[in-house]
Amino acid sequence: MTTGALIFAYNNEQTDYVAMADWTAKNIRRHLGIPVALVTDRPTELKFEQVIIQPADGDNGRWFGDYGTNVKWHNQTRANAYKLTPWSQTLVLDADYVVASDQLKTVLASPQEFLAHRWAYDITGLNDFSGLNYFGAYHMPMWWATVMMFRCSEHAQLIFETMVMIRDNWTHYRNIYKNSNGTYRNDHALSIALGVVNGHILKHASIPWNLASLTPDHQLTQLAPDHYRIDFVNSDQKPRWIELHNQDFHAMGKKTLGEIVANPC
Amino acid sequence: MNTEQLIAHGRARFDHAAARRVLKEKYQGKLTFAHAGGMWLAGPELLATLAACTGPTSVLLDLYETPVKIMPNEFRDLVRTHWQEQMNAWLVEYDQLSKNR
């Protein structure tokens, strides 16, 4: 059995996702000791165990608050992860997921065929994520596609093939779930797919801890390897900060993470 | 006591509570581990359950509600060790947090 990570990275005019993936791959190798395959649309000189060339699929536009503009967002190939992965057990990670510990080894040791996070929370405690942990007018529970572990199995294959079906018929599924968000999101497609594949029981095996998340309105700096500081302004407009040691988190703001990637400790 | 002092105190308590919550979330993950094909949360509840297992093997429900056969004596040592390692690390970080406060 081979175990490895898979990162999707498509650069746009604002963010060098491939450089971000390279930085994340180094963290993955250091903490998890597994190889990393990159899925992108052009050859790169950066070192990955495998580079899988896959044309950018779709041109979603999305508002990025940290850049203050709409940017192109190539996120639609992720549903092909099952088809593209070179590994028999795969850990799919967002390029902006900061691996600062060996926590994900527990996920890799799990006997489950598919796992993702059910709950995310704001590290600063300022933002209520209930609007992000559910989607659509029916308040459907959302599973996060930020971290996904799957093994080659019929179950995992069905989940990803259903995601592809949902992606390719996004308007239809968006209407069924009365999702006001027109932009295709992998989190929504995954959540719908899990419902379909598991018989709409709305209870699926998930990673047994919550996804620590940092929203783009906060400032992230790296103090040392695996040691980060988050500066934010509280509801009284007072500056506050919090430090993270050896804790994985999802850096939703690409701008500050991009600066760390360009000048790592 | 004046109102400003009270507000400042309340805010400091709020910030401290937020930092404590982040620590709790972090160690919730670190206390989770895989063993014998199951996923477990190390802690007093699991240890109490294991204390009730007297035979050479027992079947327990893991975090995914899957029945898993384990060897209680060996598993108890593993749970206790993992639990205390993580709790000690939690204490170190908590003390640091209190100093910062």
Tens-place pLDDT, residues A76-91? 899 999 999 999 999 9
Q: Which of A189-193, A211-215, A232-236 has the lowest mean pLDDT?
A: A232-236
Single pTM value for the model? 0.91
What does the pLDDT look like over B34-89, one tens digit per residue? 999 999 999 999 999 999 999 999 999 999 999 999 999 999 999 999 999 999 99
**Three-class secondary structure assignment of chain A:** CCEEEEEECCCCCCCCHHHHHHHHHHHHHHHHCCCEEEEECCCCCCCCCEEEECCCCCCEEEEECCCCEEEEECCHHHHHHHHHCCCCEEEEECCCEECCCCCHHHHHHCCCCEEEECCEEECCCCCCCHHHHEECCCCEECCEEEEEEEECCHHHHHHHHHHHHHHHCHHHHHHHCCCCCCCCCHHHHHHHHHHHHCCCCCCCCCCCCCEEEECCCCEEEEEECCEEEEEEECCCCCEEEEEEECCCEEECCHHHHHHHHHCCC
Average pLDDT value for residue range A13-42: 96
Q: Which of B26, B34, B39 has the CB atom closest to A247's CB atom?
A: B26
Task: Tell me which chain A residue has its CA closest to the CA of residue B37.
Answer: A111
Q: Which of A110, A124, A125 sits opposite B34 (nearest CB)?
A: A110
CATH of residue A143's domain is: 3.90.550
In Å, how far is B17's CA from the nearest CA of chain A? 10
Could A111 and B25 be called an inter-chain contact, meaning their C-beta atoms sit closer than 8 Å? no
- Domain range enclosing A224: 3-262
Amino acid at A260: I
Number of structural domains (chain A) is 1
The interface pTM score, or ipTM, of the predicted complex is 0.84
Please indicate whether, in this complex, the C-beta atoms of A209 and B29 are within 8 angstroms of each other. yes
pLDDT value at position B10? 83
- Assign A63 a pLDDT band (cuts: 50, 70, 90): low
Q: What is the mean pLDDT of chain A?
A: 92
Percentage of chain A modeled with pLDDT above 70: 96
Contact: A111, B21; criterion CB under 8 Å: no
d(CA B72, CA B29): 23
- Neighboring chain A residues of B22 at a CB cutoff of 8 Å: 123, 125, 212, 242, 244, 247
Q: Which of A106, A113, A201, A236 to mutate to test the interface with B (most CBs of B within 10 A)?
A: A106
CB distance B11–A123 less than 8 Å? no
Residue A166: per-residue pLDDT: 97
Residue A60 clears pLDDT 80, i.e. is over it:
no
